[in-house]
Chain A
Amino acid sequence: MNKYITLFLLFLFINPFCMAEPLPYNFSDTTCVPITLSITEEISTKDSVIEGETVSFRVTKDVNYQGKTLLKAGDIVNAKIETVITSGMNGFPAEIIVDDFQIPNVDEKQLISTHYKKGQNRCLWVYPLKWSLTLIPFAGSLTNFIKGGHAKIKPKDIITIYYYPNW
């Protein structure tokens, strides 16, 4: 009898360790609240844009969820410049990646917010030009000097990020 009691106690002790830990997220809910923003001051890869720098966005429309106002039009939301890709040879465009939006009472984990902004993509005509110029020795290499457009985020650009309240 003692054996069974010992085994039962052992089972009770081991069982919690065997159970899988709950995940720190649950994406089952599809409720999504879009948040539209515009930048307060223009940023461009032409000027010095530093990775990790904080940039401010203004909320363009009231954001409501379940009858409560989360954000009012005109509120300021801070975000960070995650990565800057400078423009490259052969028309490769510059790119700015903005993320880490700080919204009051909203956990970062409840947001899908990565925003990508690219400059003018000149590869579309530079590469055909490059390949046609290869008929003349070394001429194709000249297109290396054509750079892609700078990435700009202007105050008139509307950025939409998504808030999932039940994640």
Chain B
Amino acid sequence: MKKIIYILLIMSIMCGSINANPVEINAIQQRVDNVGTRLLNFNRIPKRIIFTFDKEGKADWLSKYKALKRRQIIVYGEQYQFIQSDDEIAAMLAREIATVMKSYSGMWGGTIDAIQVALSSKKFETVADKRAVDYMVKAGYNPLALIVYINKTCPQKRQDVIARHNLTSKRLARIYEYITYKYPEYLQDNEYINNQYYQNFLLNSVENRRMLEEKIKTNSAKEVDYE
């Protein structure tokens, strides 16, 4: 019995030391900083925004408020676990940069705009997605990584009529439309065509992409009501 207790104690100590490995955390922080700063510099964003990796913390409804108030983008361990490339980190950070930039403009040092972004999260979600695509392209990242990242990480709710967020399928369709019109070269010379997550998006967005094709065919300027 004692042996088992000792083994358990040793294991728990070892697990603790693995979780708090400072070298690993430092490497992730460095990676996040590199990508984030590249996004800021290549987009000539003349405002201060910092990036912090928090392995233990969890993203909650207050995360956005922290970003808007302190201009500090926190990358949580639970988000980072989905990341597979620098393009995907860029996708995650570019969205947050777009949100934080809103807190730098407008009345009372951006306070009013920050509150608006926080209250109208659904509307601004689409805006942040689109701005993220622009930021990524300017910094030399592939914007299709945003589709891959969202497709992997955001759950699909039943409806978005009474909700603070858009349906993920709608967000993805709008991002795809934005890239189709503004940066078609990424779809023509598609680096993600052999990416299984991107193919999964193509599979689950057939109906929405058909609607977009119809819009392009008819040369319509109307907003498509995606599913």
Contacts and interface: CB of A to CB of B under 8 A. Distances in A.
Interface of A: 23, 25, 27, 48, 50-52, 82-83, 85, 88-90, 92, 95, 97, 99, 109, 111-112, 116, 118, 121, 123-124, 127
Contacts of B134: 82-83, 99
A49 to B, nearest CB: 9
Interface stretch (B5-13, B112-120, B202-210): B112-120
A64 B105 CA distance: 29
A92 B127 contact: no
Nearest to B116: A123
A50 B221 contact: yes
A82 B138 CA distance: 12
A25 B127 CA distance: 28
The range of chain B's interface size is: 20 to 34
Nearest to B98: A83
Contacts of B112: 121, 123-124
17 contacts: A25-B41, A27-B41, A48-B221, A50-B221, A51-B182, A52-B181, A83-B130, A83-B131, A85-B124, A88-B123, A89-B120, A109-B44, A112-B44, A116-B105, A123-B112, A123-B116, A124-B112
A163 B46 CA distance: 13
Contacts of A123: 112, 115-116, 119
Given A51-B181, A83-B130, A121-B112, A92 B46 contact: no
Nearest to A47: B221
Contacts of B130: 51, 83
A30 to B, nearest CB: 12
Contact of A90 (B44, B119, B182, B221): B119
A85 B123 contact: yes
A4 B131 CA distance: 55
B178 interface: yes
A92 B116 contact: yes
Nearest to A85: B127
Interface in B101-115: 105-106, 112, 115
A124 B113 CA distance: 10
A140 to B, nearest CB: 13
Contacts of A89: 120
Given A82-B134, A111-B44, A112-B46, A52 B119 contact: no
B182 A52 contact: yes
User: Which 9 A-B residue pairs are closest in the complex by CB-CB distance?
Assistant: A48-B221, A88-B123, A52-B182, A92-B120, A85-B127, A83-B130, A112-B44, A52-B181, A123-B116
A66 B158 CA distance: 62
Contacts of B120: 88-90, 92
A74 to B, nearest CB: 27
A85 B116 CA distance: 13
Contacts of B182: 51-52
Given A51-B178, A83-B130, 14 more contacts: A25-B41, A50-B181, A52-B182, A82-B134, A85-B123, A88-B123, A92-B116, A92-B120, A92-B123, A111-B44, A112-B44, A112-B46, A118-B106, A123-B116
Contacts of B105: 116
Contacts of A52: 181-182
Nearest to A88: B123
Contacts of A23: 41
